[in-house]
């Protein structure tokens, strides 16, 4: 890779991010782990966390997220969107 091709990019932009495997995650996720698992930004993770239909447990002001229920919620969202768009052939991959 030529150094001139990196001009204007931060190290963060060029560094490979590790892919989180579902099996490697703890059973209950923090907001940061949720963000990494869902591959979204902090604001989006908090937006999901504040939805009434999003799976979470509260410990005072702290929220934790059961990974199995988060995965099921995500699958339902995908299925719902695909049905709305008339796309067929979605197979659950576990």
Predicted confidence (pLDDT) per residue in 21-47, tens digit: 888 899 999 999 999 999 999 999 999
Least Cα distance to 75 among 94, 50, 53 occurs for: 94
Domain 25-83 is in which class?
Answer: alpha beta
Instruction: Answer whether residue 6 shows pLDDT above 80.
Output: no
- Sequence spans of domains, the chain: 25-83
3-state secondary structure of 80: helix
């Amino acid at each position: 890779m030529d150094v001139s091709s990196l001009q204007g990019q931060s190290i963060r932009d060029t560094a490979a991010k590790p892919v989180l495997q579902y099996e490697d995650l703890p059973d209950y996720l923090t907001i940061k782990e949720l963000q990494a698992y869902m591959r979204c930004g902090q604001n989006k993770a908090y937006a999901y966390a504040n939805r009434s239909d999003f799976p979470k447990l509260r410990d005072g002001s702290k929220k934790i997220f059961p990974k199995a229920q988060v995965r099921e919620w995500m699958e339902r969202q995908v299925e719902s969107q695909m049905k709305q768009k008339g796309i067929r052939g979605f197979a659950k991959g576990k």
